[in-house]
Chain A
Amino acid sequence: MIRENYLDRINNSNKPFVIYKKTKGFDLYTDFSKKIILNNRNIKEFLDTKFKIKKNYKNTDLLIGFFGYELLNNLIGIKLPKQKSINFPKGIFYKPESKISLKEDLVYKSNKASKIAKNFKININQSAYTKIFNKFKKKIKSGETYQIKICTKYKNKSKIDPLDFFCRLAKSNLAPEAFMIKDKNFSIISCSPENLITKNGLNISTKPIAGTLRKTSKINKKKALTFFRTNIKETKEHNMIVDMERNDLSRICKPGTVKLKKEKTVEEYKDLYHYVSLITGKLNKNIKNIEIIKAMMPGGSVIGCPKISTLNLLNKQEKENRNIYTGSFGYIKFNGDMKFNIIIRSILNYKDISEISVASGVVIDSNAKHEFNENFIKAKALIDLFK
Chain B
Amino acid sequence: MIYVIDHKDSFTHNVVHQLSLFDKVECDDFSKINKSKLNKASTIVFSPGPGSPKDYPLSSKIYKQFKGKKRIIGICLGFQQILFCEGANIIEQNKIYHGFQSEVLVNKFSKLFDVGSKFKVGRYHSLKLQEPFNSKNFDITMRCVISGAAMSFENNVDKIYGFQFHPESFLTINGKILIKKILSA
Contacts and interface: CB of A to CB of B under 8 A. Distances in A.
Interface of A: 140-147, 232, 235-240, 242-244, 246-248, 250-251, 253, 255-256, 258, 260, 263, 300, 305-309, 363-364
Contacts of A250: 13-14, 16-17
A251 B15 CA distance: 10
B122 interface: yes
B50 A260 contact: no
Given A250-B17, A309-B8, A146 B99 contact: yes
Contacts of B166: 243
B125 interface: yes
A306 B11 contact: yes
A141 B8 contact: no
Interface in B6-26: 8-14, 16-17, 20-21
B11 to A, nearest CB: 5
9 contacts: A140-B126, A141-B126, A142-B92, A142-B127, A237-B99, A246-B17, A250-B14, A363-B98, A363-B99
Nearest to B9: A306
Interface of B: 8-14, 16-17, 20-21, 49-52, 77, 92, 96, 98-101, 122, 124-127, 166, 169-171
A246 B18 CA distance: 11
A307 B122 CA distance: 19
A368 B127 CA distance: 23
Q: Pick the 3 closest A-B CB pairs, nearest first.
A: A255-B20, A143-B126, A236-B99
B11, B14, B50, B52 pick with most chain A CB within 10 angstroms: B50
A256 B21 contact: yes
Contact of A256 (B11, B17, B96): B17
Contact of A248 (B13, B51, B125): B13
A259 to B, nearest CB: 10
Given A248-B13, A256-B17, A145 B50 contact: yes
Contact of A239 (B8, B17, B51, B171): B171
Contacts of A306: 8-11, 49-50
A243 B122 contact: yes
A260 to B, nearest CB: 5
A71 B13 CA distance: 23
B100 A236 contact: yes
Given A147-B98, A239-B171, A253-B17, 12 more contacts: A142-B51, A143-B126, A145-B50, A146-B124, A243-B124, A243-B166, A246-B170, A248-B13, A250-B13, A250-B16, A308-B8, A309-B51
